[in-house]
C-alpha cells in the first residue's frame, strides 16, 4: 500500500471496477464515505440494482479490455433486497472465477464479497485489501496490447 | 442528445479535495456534452433553478449531476429536471462526494477519478430512454406484525384513521414486554394500568382483526398490494367459544408447564391464560405438558369446560390477508446472561435478570408483589444491581448500549427501597446514561432521596457464601476493590434483536444490521421507513428503545401508512424488465429465476412462445436480464448497453 501510494505512476495506471448493489454495498460505500474512512482511489463504482444483475460478461469484458481488477459486492446471503439475487450471483460468479484462468486472466484480479449498508468499516477494509492485491499483481498485461 | 453537466462543489465538501472547475472543463470534451459548469450547492433552490434554466436555454435533453450519493439526492434532481420538462429518467448522477472527496485527500487523484465518474455517467445517459410510471390501486388495509406497545399504538392510530388493521401477535396475548413490567420510569406509573386500556381498545375496535398465537408465514406482492399468509397456531381451544372463565386452568392436573410470562420464576398449568389482563383472554394448551397429549389420558378440561371449547384435534390454520402496507413491530429479546460465566452462568437462583425482577415486583407476579428470593422465598436485605450485562461489551458481541438498563435499575432500586425500607441497594455501573426528559433527575432521586449506593466499576465475580451471594468488583472512583454480600443480585440484562428477526426480514425483504436489528431507510431522515416500499418499522425491532420512543415510532409508522393511503393509487417504478419479442427465443429461463413470479409465458398468433413481464409485479432486480441467453429481456434504466457504456469508458 505505502509503496504504491509513493509511486504515483503505478497508482495512475491501476484501474479497478466495482459492481455494487444499490441496497447494501453501495450504501456501505456511502457509509464509509460519510464516516471519512480513507480508501485507495483506484476503484470506479458501477451501481447495479442487485449483484444478480451482474452478467459474467460485465466482469470478463473489462478484464480482457483493460481493467486491472473487478470487484463485485452485494448484500449478505439471506439479506438480499430481492430475496435470492445474491445467491444466483454467487453461483454465477463462482463458476466465472474458475473460468478466468482458462481465459488467460489471473484469478486474483476478480473478487466478490458481501458488505451491508451499515458496514462502512468493512467496506474500507475490502477496498483496501483488494486494491493492495491488484497492486501486487500489477497492471493487466492484456490491456497494453 | 444534448447533455448538460453540473458539478457540485457542496461547499467545500467536494471542492476541498476535488478540482470541480477542472472536472466541468473536462466534461465539455465528452460526446454530446454541450454545457458543463461547477456550482456551489447544486441541491439548493437556486442550484436547481440553475439546472432548469439551462435545460430551457440550452435545449438540453439529458442532465448529469456530479455531487453526493444518488441514494441521497437522486429523487431531488429527478424532480428538478422533470419541472423543466425533461423525463425524470433522462438524468444521471455521479457520486463524487461519498465515493471520492470524502475518502481521499489526494486532490489530483480525486479530480481524475471524478472526471472518469462523470464520463461514465454521460456515457450511460446517452443510452437512457424516457420511462413512464403507471398507476396501481392501493388496498387500504394495513398489517401490523407484533402487538407490543409499539404495534398496539400503530394499530390504534391506523384504526382511528379509519383503516382496516390486521394485527398479528406470536404470543397468546398482546401487550409484549411492557405487559410484563411492574412500573415504568421515570414516573413510576403502573405499567399494566397505562397499557391495559390500550389493549382493551384493540379488542373493541371493529376495524382491527387480531390474530394472536399467530405468525407470518409468507409475504408476496408489493407496496399497495401485499398478500400475506398467517399461520394461526393450534391452541386446542376454540377461541370463538372460550369465555376465559379459567375453570379449566384451575382444574388442570399438569402443573409443571413453563411460564414464560413470569420469566420462568413460576410454573403454569398445561392449559393456561398467561395473565389476568390478557387480550384476548382465552385459554391455550401447551401440548408438551398436557396429559392428554403426552399420556393419552386425562381430558379434565374437556369435561369441565362449560362452553365445550376444548378441541384436541385442532390443527394449525393458514389465513390469507391482503394489505397495502406492513408495519413491523416485533420488539426485542432479553440478552441471555448465562453467557457470563463469572456471574454464575445462570446457575444461581438468586442471580436474576432485570425482567425477572420486574415479575417479582409485580402484583400479578409469582410472589404477588412481595420481594422474595427465588431460592428460599425469604425477603432479601442486601440487593445488588449490575449494569451493562450484555451491553457495551464487545467480548460478548454486544458493543452497543441498550439504552434502557440504567433507567430501569434506578426504578427497580427505588421500588425496592419503597417495598423494603430496611434494605440496602447497591448499583455497579460503568456510566449512567439518562438522556431523556426527567431521566437524569430520576436517577439522582434514586441516589439522593432513596439512598441507593452507586458504585462505579465492573463486577468481576459472583459466588455463593453460605446461602448468600458475594459480589466482587472494583470501585474505580476510589481505586479500591469492593466486596458486597448480597441476598439477591439483579443483572441489568441488555436488549437484543428478537430471535426470529432474521427469518422475518427475509420474508419481508428488509435488511438488518449485524446484531439483527432492522435497518431504517436513512438513520436520521427516514427512521421508520425500510428500503422496501410499503414496509415500515416501529419500536425496538429497529434498535433498543424505551417506551416513549416505541410509542412515538408506532404513531410515526401509522402516520406514514396514512400518508401512503391518502392517495387512491400509487405510481409504479418504471425501472422494470421488458421483453423484446423479436429476439426472445421462448426458453423461459427468466420465469425460473424471477423471485417474484413477475414473468409469464404467452403464445403469439404464430404459435411461438414468448416471455412477458407483469410490470406491476416486477421489482427491477435484473436477475432475468443476466440469465437471458439472447439478452431479449432488458432491465429498463440498467440495460446491458447502459452498463457496457459505463465499462467502455474505463476500458479505454
Does residue B167 share a domain with residue B55?
A: no
Q: Which residue of A has its CA nearest to B503?
A: A78
Does residue B476 share a domain with residue B363?
A: yes
Asked if A81 and B531 come within 8 Å (Cβ–Cβ), the reply is: yes
Residues of A in contact with B91 (CB under 8 A): none
Of A26, A13, A4, A22, the residue nearest A123 (C-alpha): A26
Residues of A in contact with B72 (CB under 8 A): 30
**DSSP string for B379-445:** PPSEEEEEEEESSSBGGGTB-S--SSHHHHHHHHHHHHHHH-TT-EEEEEES-----STTHHHHHHH
The matching CATH number, chosen from 1.10.10, 3.40.50, 2.60.120, 1.10.238, for A2-144 is 3.40.50
Nearest to B509 among A26, A53, A82 (CB): A82
Q: What per-residue confidence (pLDDT) applies to B635?
A: 97
Cross-strand pairs, B144: B167, B327
Q: Hey, is the C-beta of A20 within 8 angstroms of any chain B C-beta? A: no
Q: For residues B533 and B375, is the Cβ–Cβ distance under 8 A?
A: no
Sheet order of strands, B382-389 included? B351-353, B488-493, B382-389, B424-429, B453-456
Name, in order, each residue with C-beta under 8 angstroms of B596's C-beta and a sequence gap of 6 or more.
A82, B220, B222, B617, B618, B619
Q: What per-residue confidence (pLDDT) applies to A144?
A: 53
Pairwise CA distance, residues B34 & B16, whole Å? 26
Name, in order, each residue with C-beta under 8 angstroms of B92's C-beta and a sequence gap of 6 or more.
B62, B63, B64, B65, B121, B122, B124, B125, B128
CA dihedral angle for residue B105, residue B107, residue B109, residue B112, rounded to 10 degrees: 140
DSSP-based helix, strand, coil % in chain B, nearest 5: 30, 25, 45
Q: Where are the alpha helices (DSSP H) in B59-167?
A: 70-83, 107-125, 149-160
Of B565, B590, B612, the residue that ends a domain is B565
Tell me how far CA of residue B519 lies from CA of B76, B435, B537, in angstroms.
Answer: 23, 23, 9
Q: Which domain holds residue B585?
A: 577-636
Asked if B104 and A62 come within 8 Å (Cβ–Cβ), the reply is: no
C-alpha cell of residue B624: 432475468
Q: Does residue B280 have a cis peptide bond before it, meaning omega lies within 30 degrees of 0?
A: yes
Pairwise CA distance, residues B451 & B454, whole Å? 9
Name, in order, each residue with C-beta under 8 angstroms of B540's C-beta and a sequence gap of 6 or more.
B148, B150, B331, B332, B495, B550
Q: Hey, is the C-beta of B619 within 8 angstroms of any chain A C-beta? A: yes
Determine phi and psi for B224, rounding to 5 degrees. 95, -30
Residues of B in contact with A36 (CB under 8 A): 102-103
Q: How far apart are the first and last CA of chain A?
A: 27
Specify burial of residue B10 (Cβ count, 10 A radius: 0-12, 13-18, 19+). Answer: buried
Pairwise CA distance, residues B166 & B325, whole Å? 10
Does residue B119 share a domain with residue B34?
A: yes
Cross-strand pairs, B482: B473
Q: What per-residue confidence (pLDDT) applies to A138?
A: 92
Helix axes B149-160, B191-204, angle to 10 degrees: 40
Site from A24, A44, A56, A57 to mutate, B interface, most B CB atoms within 10 angstroms:
A44
Q: Tell me whether residue B236 is in a domain.
A: no
Task: Give the residue ranges of chain A where pLDDT is below 50.
Answer: 1-11, 145
Q: What per-residue confidence (pLDDT) applies to B36?
A: 97
3-state secondary structure of A5: helix
Chain center to CA of B75: 24
Tell me: ipTM over 0.90: yes
Does residue B631 share a domain with residue B606?
A: yes
Q: Tell me whether residue B646 is in a domain.
A: no
The three-point CA angle B17-B20-B22 to 5° equals 115
Chain center to CA of B146: 11
- Give residues 55 to 114 of B whose Cβ lies within 8 Å of A: 69-72, 95, 97-100, 102-106, 109-110, 112-113
Does residue B325 share a domain with residue B374?
A: no
Q: How many domains does chain B have?
A: 5
Residues of B in contact with A54 (CB under 8 A): 626
Task: Give the residue ranges of chain B where pLDDT is below 70.
Answer: none
Q: Hey, is the C-beta of B220 within 8 angstroms of any chain A C-beta? A: no
Of A86, A18, A17, A16, the residue nearest A50 (C-alpha): A86
**DSSP string for B17-76:** TS-HHHHHHHHTTSTTEEEEEEES-TTSHHHHHHHHHHHHHHT-SEEEEEES-HHHHHHH
Determine phi and psi for B242, rounding to 5 degrees. -55, 135
- Give residues 566 to 595 of B whose Cβ lies within 8 Å of A: 575, 593, 595
Burial B270-300 (b: 16+ CB within 10 A, else e): bbbbbbebbbbbbbbbbeebbbbbeeeebeb
Of B125, B155, B181, the residue that ends a domain is B125
Tell me how far CA of residue B447 lies from CA of B300, B381, B413, in angstroms.
Answer: 53, 18, 9
- Give residues 167 to 206 of B whose Cβ lies within 8 Å of A: none
Q: Tell me whether residue B232 is in a domain.
A: no
Task: Work out the minimum CA distance from B626 to partner chain A, whole angstroms.
Answer: 5
Pairwise CA distance, residues B103 & B96, whole Å? 10
What is the value of pTM for the model shown? 0.88
Cell numbers 417506551 label which residue?
Answer: B547
Does residue B379 share a domain with residue B434?
A: yes
- The single-letter DSSP state of residue B467 is T
Q: Hey, is the C-beta of B528 within 8 angstroms of any chain A C-beta? A: no
Cross-strand pairs, A112: A72
Name, in order, each residue with C-beta under 8 angstroms of B29's C-beta and a sequence gap of 6 or more.
none
Task: Work out the minimum CA distance from A109 to partner chain B, whole angstroms.
Answer: 15
Of B247, B250, B248, B241, the residue nearest B307 (C-alpha): B241
Q: What per-residue confidence (pLDDT) applies to A83?
A: 87
Q: Does residue B65 have a cis peptide bond before it, meaning omega lies within 30 degrees of 0?
A: no
Torsional sign, CA A7, A10, A13, A16: negative
Asked if B519 and A30 come within 8 Å (Cβ–Cβ), the reply is: no
Torsional sign, CA B231, B233, B238, B239: negative
* Pairs from B370-377 (Cβ < 8 Å, separation ≥ 24): B370/B419, B371/B416, B371/B419, B371/B420, B371/B488, B373/B349, B373/B487, B373/B488, B374/B265, B374/B349, B374/B350, B375/B349, B375/B350, B375/B467, B376/B467
Site from A16, A25, A41 to mutate, B interface, most B CB atoms within 10 angstroms:
A41
Residues of B in contact with A53 (CB under 8 A): 621-623, 625-626, 635, 638
Biggest CA pair distance of chain B: 93
Q: Which pLDDT tens digit goes with each residue over B514-548?
A: 899 999 988 889 999 998 899 999 999 999 999 99
Q: Which residue of B has its CA nearest to A21?
A: B621
Q: Hey, is the C-beta of A41 within 8 angstroms of any chain B C-beta? A: yes
Asked if B595 and A82 come within 8 Å (Cβ–Cβ), the reply is: yes
Q: How far apart are the first and last CA of chain B?
A: 22
Asked if B651 and A40 come within 8 Å (Cβ–Cβ), the reply is: no
- CATH code of the domain covering residue B422: 3.50.50.60
Q: Hey, is the C-beta of B530 within 8 angstroms of any chain A C-beta? A: no
Name, in order, each residue with C-beta under 8 angstroms of B61's C-beta and a sequence gap of 6 or more.
B1, B2, B3, B86, B90
Asked if B627 and A88 come within 8 Å (Cβ–Cβ), the reply is: yes
Q: What per-residue confidence (pLDDT) applies to B520?
A: 93
Q: For residues B19 and B136, is the Cβ–Cβ distance under 8 A?
A: no
Torsional sign, CA B619, B564, B497, B333: negative
Does residue B404 share a domain with residue B416?
A: yes
Residues of B in contact with A65 (CB under 8 A): 651
- Give residues 121 to 160 of B whose Cβ lies within 8 Å of A: none
Q: Hey, is the C-beta of A87 within 8 angstroms of any chain B C-beta? A: no
Q: Which helix (H) or strand (E) holds B446?
A: helix B439-448
Q: What per-residue confidence (pLDDT) applies to A42?
A: 94
Site from A14, A28, A46, A77 to mutate, B interface, most B CB atoms within 10 angstroms:
A46
Pairwise CA distance, residues B547 & B542, whole Å? 13
Pairwise CA distance, residues B103 & B101, whole Å? 6
3-state secondary structure of A24: coil
Tell me how far CA of residue B60 lies from CA of B23, B33, B68, in angstroms.
Answer: 19, 9, 22
Q: Which pLDDT tens digit goes with each residue over B583-615?
A: 999 999 999 999 988 999 999 999 999 999 999
Residues of B in contact with A17 (CB under 8 A): 647, 650
Cell numbers 489530483 label which residue?
Answer: B108
Does residue B295 share a domain with residue B184?
A: no
Amino acid at each position: 500500500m505505502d509503496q504504491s501510494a509513493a509511486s504515483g505512476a503505478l497508482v495512475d495506471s491501476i484501474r479497478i471496477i466495482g459492481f455494487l448493489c444499490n441496497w447494501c454495498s453501495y450504501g456501505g460505500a456511502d457509509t464509509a464515505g460519510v464516516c471519512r474512512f480513507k480508501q485507495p482511489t483506484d476503484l470506479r463504482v458501477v451501481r447495479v440494482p442487485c449483484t444478480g444483475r451482474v452478467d459474467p460478461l460485465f466482469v470478463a469484458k473489462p478484464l480482457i479490455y483493460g481493467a486491472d481488477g473487478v470487484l463485485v459486492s452485494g448484500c449478505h446471503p439471506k439479506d438480499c433486497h430481492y430475496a435470492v439475487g445474491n445467491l444466483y450471483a454467487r453461483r454465477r460468479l463462482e463458476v466465472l472465477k474458475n473460468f478466468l484462468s482458462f481465459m488467460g486472466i489471473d484469478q486474483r484480479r476478480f473478487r466478490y464479497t458481501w458488505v451491508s449498508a451499515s458496514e462502512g468499516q468493512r467496506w474500507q477494509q475490502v477496498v483496501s485489501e483488494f486494491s493492495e492485491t491488484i497492486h501486487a499483481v500489477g497492471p493487466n498485461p492484456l490491456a497494453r496490447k | 442528445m444534448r447533455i448538460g453537466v453540473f458539478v457540485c462543489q457542496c461547499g467545500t465538501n467536494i471542492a476541498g479535495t476535488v478540482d470541480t472547475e477542472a472536472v466541468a472543463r473536462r466534461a465539455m470534451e465528452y460526446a454530446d456534452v454541450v454545457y458543463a459548469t461547477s456550482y456551489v450547492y447544486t441541491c439548493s433552490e437556486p442550484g436547481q433553478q440553475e439546472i432548469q434554466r439551462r435545460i430551457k436555454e440550452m435545449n438540453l435533453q439529458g442532465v448529469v449531476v456530479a455531487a453526493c450519493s444518488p441514494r441521497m439526492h437522486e429523487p431531488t434532481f429527478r424532480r428538478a429536471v422533470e419541472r423543466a420538462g425533461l423525463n425524470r429518467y433522462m438524468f444521471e448522477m455521479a457520486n463524487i462526494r461519498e465515493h471520492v472527496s470524502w475518502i481521499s485527500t489526494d486532490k489530483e487523484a480525486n479530480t481524475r477519478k471524478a472526471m472518469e465518474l462523470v464520463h461514465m455517467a454521460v456515457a450511460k445517459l446517452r443510452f437512457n430512454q424516457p420511462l413512464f410510471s403507471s398507476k396501481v390501486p392501493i388496498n387500504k388495509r394495513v398489517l401490523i406484525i407484533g402487538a407490543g406497545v409499539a404495534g398496539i399504538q400503530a394499530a390504534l392510530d391506523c384504526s382511528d384513521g379509519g383503516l382496516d388493521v390486521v394485527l398479528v401477535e406470536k404470543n397468546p396475548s398482546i401487550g409484549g414486554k411492557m405487559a410484563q413490567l411492574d412500573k415504568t420510569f421515570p414516573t413510576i406509573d403502573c405499567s399494566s394500568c397505562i397499557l391495559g386500556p390500550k389493549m382493551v381498545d384493540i379488542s373493541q375496535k371493529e376495524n382491527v382483526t387480531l390474530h394472536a398465537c399467530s405468525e407470518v408465514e409468507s409475504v408476496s406482492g408489493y407496496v399497495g398490494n401485499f398478500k400475506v399468509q398467517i399461520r394461526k397456531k393450534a391452541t386446542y381451544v376454540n377461541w370463538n367459544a372460550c369465555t376465559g372463565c379459567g375453570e379449566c386452568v384451575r382444574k388442570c392436573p399438569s402443573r409443571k408447564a413453563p411460564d414464560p410470562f413470569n420469566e420462568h420464576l413460576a410454573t403454569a398449568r398445561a392449559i393456561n391464560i398467561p395473565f389476568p389482563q390478557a387480550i384476548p383472554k382465552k385459554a391455550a394448551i401447551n401440548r408438551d405438558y398436557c396429559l392428554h397429549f403426552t399420556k393419552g389420558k386425562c381430558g379434565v378440561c374437556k369435561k369441565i369446560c362449560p362452553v365445550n371449547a376444548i378441541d384436541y384435534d385442532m390443527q394449525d390454520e393458514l389465513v390469507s390477508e391482503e394489505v397495502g402496507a406492513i408495519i413491523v413491530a416485533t420488539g426485542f429479546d432479553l440478552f441471555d446472561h448465562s453467557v457470563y460465566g463469572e456471574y454464575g452462568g445462570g446457575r444461581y437462583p438468586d442471580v436474576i435478570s432485570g425482567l425477572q425482577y420486574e415479575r417479582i415486583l409485580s402484583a400479578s407476579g409469582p410472589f404477588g408483589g412481595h420481594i422474595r428470593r427465588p431460592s428460599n422465598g425469604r425477603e432479601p436485605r442486601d440487593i445488588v444491581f449490575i449494569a451493562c450485562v450484555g451491553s457495551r461489551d464487545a467480548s460478548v458481541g454486544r458493543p452497543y448500549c441498550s439504552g434502557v438498563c440504567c433507567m430501569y435499575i434506578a426504578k427497580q432500586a427505588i421500588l425496592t427501597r419503597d417495598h423494603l425500607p430496611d434494605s440496602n441497594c447497591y448499583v455497579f455501573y460503568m456510566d449512567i446514561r439518562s438522556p431523556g426528559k426527567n431521566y437524569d433527575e430520576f436517577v439522582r432521586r434514586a441516589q439522593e432521596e432513596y439512598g441507593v449506593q452507586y458504585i462505579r466499576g465492573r463486577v468481576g465475580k459472583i459466588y455463593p457464601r453460605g446461602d448468600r451471594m458475594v459480589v466482587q468488583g472494583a470501585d474505580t472512583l476510589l481505586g479500591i476493590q469492593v466486596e458486597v454480600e448480597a441476598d439477591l443480585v439483579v443483572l441489568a440484562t441488555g436488549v437484543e434483536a428478537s430471535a426470529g428477526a432474521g427469518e422475518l426480514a427475509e420474508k419481508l425483504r428488509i435488511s438488518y444490521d449485524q446484531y439483527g436489528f432492522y435497518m431504517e431507510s436513512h438513520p436520521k431522515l427516514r427512521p421508520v421507513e425500510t428500503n422496501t416500499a410499503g414496509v415500515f418499522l416501529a419500536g425496538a425491532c429497529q434498535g433498543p428503545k424505551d417506551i416513549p420512543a416505541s410509542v412515538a415510532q408506532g404513531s410515526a409508522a401509522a402516520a406514514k401508512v396514512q400518508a401512503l393511503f391518502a392517495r387512491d393509487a400509487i405510481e409504479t417504478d418504471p425501472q422494470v424488465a421488458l421483453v423484446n419479442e423479436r429476439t426472445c427465443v421462448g426458453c423461459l429461463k427468466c420465469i425460473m429465476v424471477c423471485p417474484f413470479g413477475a414473468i409469464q409465458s404467452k403464445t403469439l398468433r404464430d404459435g411461438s412462445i414468448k416471455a412477458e413481464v407483469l410490470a406491476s409485479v416486477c421489482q427491477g432486480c435484473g436477475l432475468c436480464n443476466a440469465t437471458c441467453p439472447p439478452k431479449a429481456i432488458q432491465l429498463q434504466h440498467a440495460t446491458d448497453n447502459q452498463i457496457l457504456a459505463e465499462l467502455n469508458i474505463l476500458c479505454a
